[in-house]
Structure 1
Amino acid sequence: MSSSALLGIGTRAMFANYAALQATGNNIANANTEGYSRQQVVLETAKGQFTGAGFFGKGVNVASVTRSYNSFLTTQASATKATAAGDAARAEQLKQVEAVFGTGKSGVGYSAGELLNAFVDVANQPADSSARQVVIARAKELADKFAAAGDQLQSIQTGITQDIRSSVDTVNSLAQQVGKLNEQIQALNGTGQPPNDLLDKRDNLISQISGYIGVTTIKADNGSIGVFVGGGQALVLGANANKLTTVADPYDPSKVQLGISVGSGLSSMIPQDALSDGSISGMLRFQNDDLVDARNLLGQMAAAISGAVNQQQSLGLDMGKPAGPGSPLYAVGAPRSLPAASNAGDAAFGVTLTDTTQVQASDYELQFDGTNYSLTRLSDNTAAVGSPFSAAQMAAGITVDGMTIQMTAGTSAAGDRTLLQPVADAAKDMRAVLSDPNGIAAASPVTATFTATNKGTATLASLAAVSTSLDRTLTANVSFTSDTGDYNWELLDSTGAQVSTGTGTWTAGSPIALNGFELKLNGVPKSGDTLSVAPTTSTEANNGNALAFVGIGTRNIVGGSTAANGSVTPGKTITDAYASALSDIGVRVQSAQTASSISDSAAAQAESARANKSGVNLDEEAAKLIQYQQSYQAAAKMLQVAQQVFDTLLQTAAG
């Protein structure tokens, strides 16, 4: 063995420890660098040299510089980050919707109550212009609140559209960078050594992408990673990066859906169900589900209160000269019929609200299979009563959930779809259309008169028209034939000629219903008592219809339903309906916040587990720094000793 062997061992030892010091220093320098994985030098024993006395070691070699990396932990951190981002995005948007449904005096429920309460003063003084003016003001306030709430929901939709487009642009930029890194890593794959910094940067970019849209990754033999979204759509494949796009909703151009452009450049839509988490997925879920439901809940209430008020207006008499039926107080946004962009046929469908008490807070999808039309209520994904319908039925018009649907033009092709929105725009476009206080129909079109010689205690409790079938020219005479409420009735025309007759039995608390009006009594009639219900001749002192307006607040005018067997499920009062809407939105917000909190905690734990494996511990690196420094110094001492041995040999040889 020559002294050169010792020099070689010392040199290798110095180089190895210097490399370890360099890696440790790099770790310390990048301790706070996002996505950096701790690096370490891999050392291996140099191949020994054989001599007659055995194998002598030749020191140490630097085999590689590797990074602390765990594929499972990295994938888990990326997946939980995507879930947390999706939940957080939905929760944030739902908070905006919650603000639209104000509580207390800021809510539409309060304003609806104020409107109906204003009719109390009109009922007390039907001819008082100031009381009537208050009704006009309250009607406008209610319409303005509905319209403002609808506009706010539309603004949220606009913001969502912009956020999705911005996020898509960011994802495309990140995907391009991943493709370029794949190209660089692939080029270095033949060196046999891992390009640690490039790998870290690529992992960090993929993690950023997962914050916007959930991804799956597959590593190729050449070192590149394929990034896939939407159930297998390639976002990055090798050095090539495809582009996410925003495509117009098949029905509603004001909404966007997610698509991907592959190869030819044509964009294909990615179904929402195929998206796995990420903020884009959360925003799309909010847009397609939560925002639609909120708009329909608001629209249902707007249609119900305006329908009930307008109907009651039509049943009374105003203070015009001459007096006539009241004109509508409100106009609301018309129902919409939106054919799918892919339809081959040109059929058009009209939607009309025929019974606002039965209208549901939902959109509907109409599909044609070539023979029949199926109608699905999208709020609960159930078939509408009577579905499917024949082409002849659609041409004649069908009535479902308080609306009439009719094919008005064109023909359908098999596979055609149409989205029907009966109340989506009802609130946004709601407005008060009556400005003349004298136009309020406070008077009942009929007036009751009790015979002065009646022996019973029966007096008038209320009298109001309840149906547009009321004939305002007829007079109804009622004669009680027993003390238990039996009576005969007759209807006379303006000449006194008898039009029709009949019998009935009055019971306490129940009305006498004739000719489209309802008469309620206080007290008890006796046999022989009579009363007359004749057309109203003076509207100034009549408050019958004003009292009916007040009663709207206690009627179930929102969201009733009729089953296939004809059974009717009553709806809610306007106050209860608004409280139910507040509860629905509140539950969604609370649920979303809880889900966001849980997923955020899971993401933090997964990231902590990844960081514990890959992150830099400064205390540990400081200890290694001292260790490698001492090893380096020992190696230097070895070189010094080797030099001295070599000098001694030279001196001995020279002597």
Structure 2
Amino acid sequence: MANSFAGIEIGKRSLMAHSTQIQTAGHNISNADTEGYSRQRVIVKSFEPIYRPDLERAMVPGQIGQGCDVESINRIKDELLESRIVEQKNVESYWETRDKYYSMIESVYNEPNDVSVRTNMDKFWQGWQELSTYPESDAARLAVVVRGQTLTNSIQQQYKSLRGIGDQINGDIEAVVKQVNDLSRQIASVNGEIVRSKGLGDNPNDLMDRRDLLVEKLSSLINVTVTQKDPDEFMVHTDGQIIVQGSLARQIETVGQLDNNGYGKLMWSDTKVDAEFHGGTLGALVELRDKDIRTEIQSLNTMALNFADLVNDVHRNAIGKNNTTGLDFFVQHDFVENVNGNYDRNGDGVEDTSYIFRMTGTNVLKMQEQIGLFGTMTINGASGNIDVAYFSTDTVEDVINRINDSNGEVKAYLDRNSCLVLKATSSKGMENPDFVIRHVEDSGMFLTGYSGILQGSGADNAYDFNRANAVDVLAGAQFAVSPVLNPSAYIEVNGLIQNDVSSVAAAFKNSQGFAEPSDGRAAVEMAAIRNTKIMIGSQRTFDDYFADTITNVGLKGEQAQNQLATQNKIMGDLRDLRDSISGVNIDEELADIIKFQHGYNVAAKFISVQDELLDTLINRLGV
């Protein structure tokens, strides 16, 4: 049976329970503005009764209670909602990052009309048009040179702006990698503390709130998912890789690579496997640097290189007022000094690769002429080689269009002499160099005897850049060595022409090999380049390039802005729902404190009554 002091024990338990509840409510209030904090509630249960239902049970009407006891202190948390927030957080930060940087990219192209690349190029073409009207004028020649300098300066400035954004993104990537590594280490450390606390029978609410906050911060940087099949092994995954397992955290490092403007790639420090992220701030930054900015710079390089190449092609074959010929209007820098484009790519001291940008056939072709041949050409594509078939009923134009419309990284056109030209484009894969023809092969005769590029058909006579002196298979075709990386960074007017504007070629040689004062045919041909279909990447003309570039940047910027607005609304709703569940309501906590205070006072009164009863029993009976 219960002893005489059982009432005191019941009162004491009640005092402790209400005191714990008051203390927890105060803890909630003090952390009302603490980031990541979830309100806590004390779970109270009735203490075990005196009698058990066995044979020793006393004959009493029922079980005699012994008051209450604190079972646990739990945090109010919707785990499913938390996982939803973690899942959506990386999407929000992904679009937030893209929106921020596309605003910067758009500003590069949103130049005032009088200083934009397109406006300066229009003035450059107008200068040649004026020179074609007044071919004897030195003033018209000077205008062409000055406008050419202004144009090249604007192209260089646009490259510097894009490269500057790329450098800024690269710096952000390095900073975010450090944050990811630090957060993963913190999560692993907190995991260890939680396991130790749970091992002692505690419920480490504040530590679990801290871990959830760290996971949410990590989810804003990379896309993560959380699993915990084993109560003692909390795991964080990202893109199929484990980044945190219990108290162990994997780290990411940056490793330099030569094929991406010197920017580093991300690797797992332990396995040296490439680390790929498709969400969060880090995923957006890597995509912006390695795809968006790289594509914009490649597009600018392609335009600048083809622009200079086409202008130079006409200018070399024309003659200036001072009867100078063979001059390039724009300076081009070859990637290697070797005339055959031989290059030591693997750095072992032996030339093992051929870097060739352009091949020009020896035979004159007609665009509308049926070729009367059939076969399959093989050219390098973004990943591996691709086949381009041609048939006897095809015209030369049909075959050229088929090459240009394919996914190959080699494009074709007829030059001013109606000879077939094959040119390399920029490369989609970082492992492949830009503006390098990697493979050309023909099973038939179109590229061989018909156009005069290859000396023979079949694989044995194929051009492949993976060996030195690969140009040996060319059938006397002219070729040009690939340019130094990023031609838009160094394009400029030839210094010889700047020093003597009479070297600007507006005419073609007469029968005596001199320039006629009134001959402006070369200037006319130069001005016509503006609307010539010269296949700059996927664009057909220079105007197509500018239109497509501006449209592409504008649409991607609009997409980022719209997606961010949508994601902000989704995350706002999720956060509001979480706050309604886990957030601290000051009024509610104050009401609870008053309730718990009344309970504490009643328990104290109960103990006072028990004390009086014991005093009567001990001191007053038997007197």
Aligned: 1:551 with 2:528: yes
Q: Partner of 2:268: helix, strand, or coil?
A: strand
1:331 partner SS: coil
Structure with the larger helix share: 2
C-alpha change, 1:621 and 1:333, in structure 2 (3 Å) is farther
CA RMSD of the aligned region, Å? 3.8
Corresponding residue for residue 318 of structure 1: 320
* Aligned equivalent of 2:367: none
Distance in 1 (CA, whole Å) between partners of 2:76 and 2:566 is 28
Q: Which residue is equivalent to 2:235?
A: 226
Q: CA deviation at 1:385?
A: 12
- The one-letter code of the counterpart of 1:305 is F
Q: Does residue 425 of structure 1 match 2:490?
A: no
Q: Which of residues 260, 263, 266 in structure 2 aligns to 1:255?
A: 263
| Number of aligned residue pairs | 524
Structure-2 residue corresponding to 1:299 = 301
Where structure 1 has 5 or more consecutive residues not aligned to the other structure, the ranges are 356-362, 412-419, 447-472, 474-534, 562-570
2:37 maps to: 36
Q: Which amino acid aligns with 1:40?
A: R
Cα distance in 2 between the residues matched to 1:629 and 1:174: 41
SS in 2 for 1:56: coil
1:368 Cα deviation after fit: 8.9
Q: Does residue 409 of the first structure (1) align with residue 462 of the second (2)?
A: no
2:290 maps to which residue? 288
Q: Is the 8 A contact 1:367 1:375 kept in 2?
A: no
Which residue of the partner structure matches residue 552 of structure 2?
584
Find the aligned partners of 1:209 and 1:283 in 2 and give their Cα distance. 15
Which moves more between the two structures, 176-185 or 304-313?
A: 304-313
Q: Quick check: 2:335–2:484 contact (8 Å CA) kept in 1?
A: yes
- Cα distance in 2 for partners of 1:110, 1:388 equals 37
Task: Find the counterpart in structure 1 of residue 93 from structure 2.
Answer: 85
Match of 2:280 among 270, 278, 281: 278
Q: Does 1:575 align with 2:543?
A: yes
Q: How has the CA–CA distance of structure 1 residues 71 and 276 changed in structure 2, closer, same or farther, with 3 Å as cutoff?
A: farther
For 1:159 and 1:296, locate their aligned partners in 2 and report how far apart those are by CA, in whole Å: 18
Q: Does 1:98 align with 2:159?
A: no
Q: Which segment is superposed worse, 42-51 or 246-255?
A: 246-255
Provide the residue aligned with 1:329 in structure 2. Answer: 329
- Who wins on radius of gyration, i.e. which is larger? 1
Amino acid at match of 1:643: D
User: Offset at 1:81?
Assistant: 0.8
Partner of 1:115: 124
Q: Name 1:610's counterpart in structure 2.
A: 578
Instruction: Give the share of equivalent positions with the same residue, in percent.
Output: 23
Q: Which amino acid aligns with 1:319?
A: K
- Greater strand fraction, Structure 1 or Structure 2: 1
Letter in 2 for 1:547: V
Unaligned runs of 5+ in 2: 52-57, 361-379, 387-405, 410-426, 431-435, 458-462, 471-480
Q: Report 1:3-152 matches (<5 A).
A: 4-50=5-51, 52-103=60-111, 104-152=113-161
Q: CA, structure 1 residues 250+133, in 2 after alignment: closer, same or farther (shift >3 Å)?
A: closer
User: 1:566 — aligned with what?
Assistant: none
TM-score for both structures, normalised by structure 2: 0.75
Aligned mates of 1:30, 1:164 — CA distance in 2: 34
Corresponding position of 1:441: 505
Shift of 1:577: 2.0
Deviation at 1:172, TM superposition (A): 1.1
CA distance in 2, matches of 1:6, 1:425: 88
User: Counterpart of 1:489?
Assistant: none
Q: Say if 1:215 and 1:276, in contact at 8 Å, map to a contact too.
A: no
* TM-score (structure 1 length as normaliser): 0.72
CA contact (8 A) 1:244 1:259 kept: yes
Q: 1:652 to 1:387 in 2, by over 3 A?
A: same
CA pair 354-92 structure 1, distance change in 2 beyond 3 A:
farther
Distance 2:228 2:537 in 1: 56
SS in 2 for 1:353: strand
Please tell me the residue identity of whatever aligns with 2:521. Answer: G
Q: Distance in 2 between matches of 1:551 and 1:247?
A: 47
Residues in 2 aligned to 1:167 and 1:339: alpha-carbon distance in whole angstroms: 35
Letter of the 1:437 partner, please give it. Answer: V
After superposition, the Cα gap between the structure-2 partners of 1:172 and 1:537, relative to the gap in structure 1 and judged at 3 Å, is closer
Amino acid at match of 2:541: T
Closer, same or farther: CA 397–339 of 1 in aligned 2, 3 Å: farther
Output the amino acid matched with 1:605: D
Separation in 2, partners of 1:409, 1:605: 62
Question: Which of 177, 185, 190 lines up with 2:194 in the alignment?
Answer: 185
Q: Select 1:348's aligned residue among 353, 362, 375.
A: 353
Corresponding letter in the other structure for 1:13: S
Structure 2 counterpart of 1:625 = 593
1:165 aligns with 2:174: yes
Q: Could you report, residue by residue, the CA deviation over 1:141-193 in whole angstroms, capped at 9, with x for unpaired residues?
A: 11111112112222222222221111111111111112221222222222222
